[in-house]
Structure 1
Amino acid sequence: MRIREIHLTPVAFRDPPLLNASGVHEPWALRTVVEIVTDEGVSGLGETYGDISHLDRLRAAVPGLIGLEVHAHHAIYARVAASVGEDVVVDQHGLIGAGSNQKTVDAVFSPFEVACLDIRGKAAGLRVADLLGGPVRDAVPYSAYLFYKWAGHPGAAEDRFGAALDPEGIVAQARLFIEEYGFASIKLKGGVFPPDQEIDAVLALRDAFPDLPLRIDPNAAWTPATSIRVGRALAGVLEYLEDPAPEIEGMAQVAPEVPMPLATNMCVVTHDHLPPAIAQGAIGVLLTDHHYWGGLLRSTQVAALCGTFGLELSMHSNTHLGISLAAMTQLAAATPNINHACDTHTPWQQGQDVVAPGALRFVDGAVPLPEGPGLGVELDRDALAVLHENYLKCGVERRDDTAYMRRTDPAFQPRRGHW
């Protein structure tokens, strides 16, 4: 089967005002839906970032992929790498971790690879998890992903989640998510308030949900010294401490001084980062993300490498829709050494999606592996049209949490190694 057509559709959907170390989420989140159609009429889906610079790189890659076999993984990667070149300006898509040319190539390649695997699975009557070695679990656990947040966007009505600016608000948010989705672990996005306030929030979660694993992610907003102090204060409370301090070197200072493992999706984001991180003992848990690790097959290779060096695994989430959730679920189902519940932003999307309902659902905090072939999801073309129209009208072309925060607080500065 050869690639005959590739359709790229940028979409926008409503996003609540979620606070983080970079600022606050804008009212609209962006993604790009990738659909590949073969000469035999079989189609496959991928999903990726929606920033205009990334969309332009996807568009630049398309001509070189037409006519290639959907099985030609390495040839597709080589064509994408050639289209990106070696001197790109790195776009972080709202992420604040390390960036590199390699990460950009991998991010452009990933949705095309996922779509090809979707096609290959459909053609063979197999799930993508089967193509990745076969599922080792029938359902993938996800974590309640909590955020400090405003009650609503400035000038808008309060949203259904309400404000969460103190420990009581965070506990109420956790209770809502657990009641609606059944999550059995909890993650708090930190780096927003002084560390002692965020310690109080974690302790409030521990008191409210004593049997659930907890984690906090301040996005490297703390110094190594503060990270050590917080880690010791939360001894016996945290499952892991995610990206407390900047860079591999900062994490390496913290790791031997705290009682829980350190996790990252910021200082180790490409293959080149693994050797120094492992040599310095900087991390104990890697949060993989197929969107920037080069797709699903390359992510399984990273998982195997982590197993060799004794690193545990979880999975990072950026704001996403159902195609990404399906791909994450297929990958996690086929990865034996995923040791922790994965992250997901799904509850924040409030039902907005581009996939037909029914294939993806949460049962006791986990997503059962879809039964259909490929990714197991189908495109809802009416919903896609609505979200594309949102994109055309919303006026947002690039995620920028800092610029949006500065509309409310002109003096705001992103927090990195700040406290």
Structure 2
Amino acid sequence: MRITSIDVHGLRLTNADGAFALSGDRVLDGADSTLVRIATDAGIEGWGETCPLTGAYLPAFTGGIRAAIAELAPALLGADPRNLAEVTARLDGTLLGQAAAKAALDVACWDLLGRAAGLPAATLLGGIVRDDLPLYEAIPIGDPERTAARVAAALARGVRRFQLKVGGDPRRDVATVARVAEQAGDGALLIVDANGGWRLDDALIAARGLADLPVHLEQPCATLEACARVQRASGLPMIYDEVVVDAPSLVAAVRDGGASVVNLKLSKVGGLTRLRALRDLAAGLGVRVMVEDSWGGDVASAAIAHAAASAPAGALLATTFVNDATREHVAGHQPRSHAGRGSVPRGPGLGLDVSTDLLGAPLARYR
């Protein structure tokens, strides 16, 4: 089997619940997703997707991703997509970095591998360890009243895991989290995520206020060193996200940062091949993982589901289906959450039937 062509499609995704606010005055009300379709001489196709949250979240933006794919895609022509080692070597031999662009191409090759084998990608990623996936719902920065209202609506739908965005005034953030903790009750998972938005002094103030609450603290500051100081001062279980991009940074987060959990995103690390390696490394080091992506639609959510379903036993803290936040769906809103839970598609590859009706003609074609 050889790759004969790669199509690149664009899709504007809009937020189903309106504007979503992060620390640092970053606001998401929509984003341009990039989808790739890889065709082969065997008549089998595979899909991948990458979508930056905003250009100010991680070092990736739509124009840069598509420019990188223009360099990477020709290097994959003629390759066997089932040989992920060859795919990775060709990608890395063409461009250093560019994880978000590589992620879409890598995921499409995993989709092809599964379709060729007649197996779900999760089976090939380590086996389906769990079909019932614990999903969290992200709650944007807001005042206590607005946050409480969103949490109440989610609780009514059966959601019991929340990622609460913070990173503004630390005392107000603590008050908001305390209210949600009381609201959610025993057994709820509460992740307090600043997305690296606090300076060290504000993070320490917040951490002291959160110390007696049943929460995980995620990436309070921009650097590993600052987050480690907050962890040591508070004793809170710490989730590292933005600073974990490869094996050395993951080991440093555990060894130097006191990580309890690492958050692995497909577009941050370069796709399923590298996410699987980091996921299993984390499990071997005794820390749990969150598996997700920055943003995206049905294709990104399916890739997340396969990586989460095949995580080693006991290693998965939580995951999320990013397509729950979007209005646009290219595969019938599959996978789809229900009452805060999800399952992995059981068809071969990613297990999706992607329609091009929303996508239209390709932005570019490489053959």
Q: TM-score, normalised by structure 1?
A: 0.78
Listed as ranges, the matches of 1:88-127 within 5 Å are 101=97, 104=98, 106-127=99-120
- One of 146, 156, 179 as aligned partner of 1:204: 179
The 10-residue stretch of structure 1 (59-68 or 233-242) with the greater mean CA deviation from structure 2: 233-242
Residue equivalent to 1:139: 132
Q: 2:143 aligns with which of 147, 166, 170?
A: 166
8 Å CA contact 1:145–1:345 kept in 2: the answer is: no
Output the CA distance in 2 between the equivalents of 1:220 and 1:298.
23
Deviation at 1:346, TM superposition (A): 3.2
- Residues matched between the structures, number: 350
How large is the Cα RMSD of the aligned pairs?
2.1
- State yes or no: 1:347 paired with 2:324: yes
Distance in 2, matches of 1:310 and 1:143, equals 22
Among the aligned pairs, what percent are the same residue?
Answer: 27
1:74 and 2:85 aligned = yes
1:224 equivalent in structure 2: 200
Secondary structure (helix, strand or coil) at the match of 1:335 reads coil
Distance 2:358 2:151 in 1: 29
What is the aligned counterpart of 1:329 among 263, 283, 305? 305
- Tell me the residue number matched to 2:253: 277
State the distance in 2 between where 1:297 and 1:83 align.
17
- In the alignment, structure 1 residue 372 sits paired with structure 2 residue 350: no
**What stretches of structure 1 move > 4 A for 4+ residues in a row?**
none
For the pair 1:262 / 2:238, whether they are aligned, the reply is yes
Contact 1:355 1:380 in 2 (8 A): yes
The one-letter code matched in structure 2 to 1:262 is M
Aligned match for 2:226, one of 234, 241, 250 = 250
1:14 aligns with 2:7: no
**Judging changes above 3 Å, is the alpha-carbon distance between structure 1 residues 129 and 5 closer, same or farther for their aligned structure 2 residues?**
same
> Where does residue 35 of structure 2 map in the other structure?
33
2: CA distance, partners of 1:175 / 1:23: 25
CA deviations 1:241-299 (Å, max 9, x no partner) are 00112211111212222132111111222223134333313422100112222221322
* Alpha-carbon distance between aligned partners in 2 of 1:62 and 1:126, rounded to the nearest angstrom: 25
For 2:335, the equivalent position in structure 1 comes to: 360
- State how far apart, in whole Å, the 1-side matches of 2:80 and 2:174 are: 52
Cα distance in 2 between the residues matched to 1:382 and 1:51: 21
> 1:386-397 alignment to 2 at 5 Å?
none
Contact 1:332–1:338 (8 Å) recurs in 2: no
Q: Residue 187 of structure 1 contacts residue 216 of structure 1 at CA under 8 Å; is this kept in 2?
A: yes
Per-residue displacement from partner, 1:387-415 (whole Å, max 9, x unpaired)? x89xxxxxxxxxxxxxxxxxxxxxxxxxx
User: Structure 1 residue 236: deviation in Å?
Assistant: 4.0
Determine the C-alpha separation between the residues in 1 that align with 2:102 and 2:287: 26
Point out the structure with the larger strand share. Answer: 2
Corresponding residue for residue 129 of structure 1: 122
In structure 1, distance between residues paired with 2:325 and 2:279: 28
Task: Tell me, yes or no, if the aligned pair for 1:214 and 1:240 is still in contact at 8 Å.
Answer: yes
Post-superposition offset of 1:343 = 3.8
> Do 1:213 and 1:239's aligned partners in 2 also have CA atoms closer than 8 Å?
yes
The answer to whether residue 153 in structure 2 is matched with residue 176 in structure 1 is: yes
Q: Is the 8 A contact 1:232 1:259 kept in 2?
A: no
Partners of 2:113 and 2:251 lie apart in 1 by: 33
Deviates more, 1:365-374 or 1:30-39: 365-374
Structure 2 letter corresponding to 1:47? E
Aligned partner of residue 188 in structure 1, secondary structure: strand
Aligned equivalents of 1:302, 1:195: Cα separation in 2: 32
In structure 2, the partner of 1:406 is none
Secondary structure, aligned partner of 1:47: strand
Q: How many angstroms apart in 1 are the aligned matches of 2:185 and 2:12?
A: 38
Provide the rounded CA distance (Å) in 1 between the counterparts of 2:129 and 2:360: 36
Task: Give the whole-Å Cα distance in 2 for the aligned partners of 1:225 and 1:125.
Answer: 53
Do residues 24 (structure 1) and 18 (structure 2) align? Answer: no
- 61, 66, 72: which one pairs with 1:61? 72
Q: Answer yes or no: is the 8 Å Cα contact 1:31–1:51 preserved in 2.
A: yes
Cα separation, 1, equivalents of 2:120 and 2:91: 25
Query: 1: CA distance between counterparts of 2:65 and 2:276?
Result: 24
Q: Distance in 2 between matches of 1:28 and 1:42?
A: 32
Amino acid at match of 2:279: A
Gaps of 5+ in 1: 86-100, 149-164, 390-419
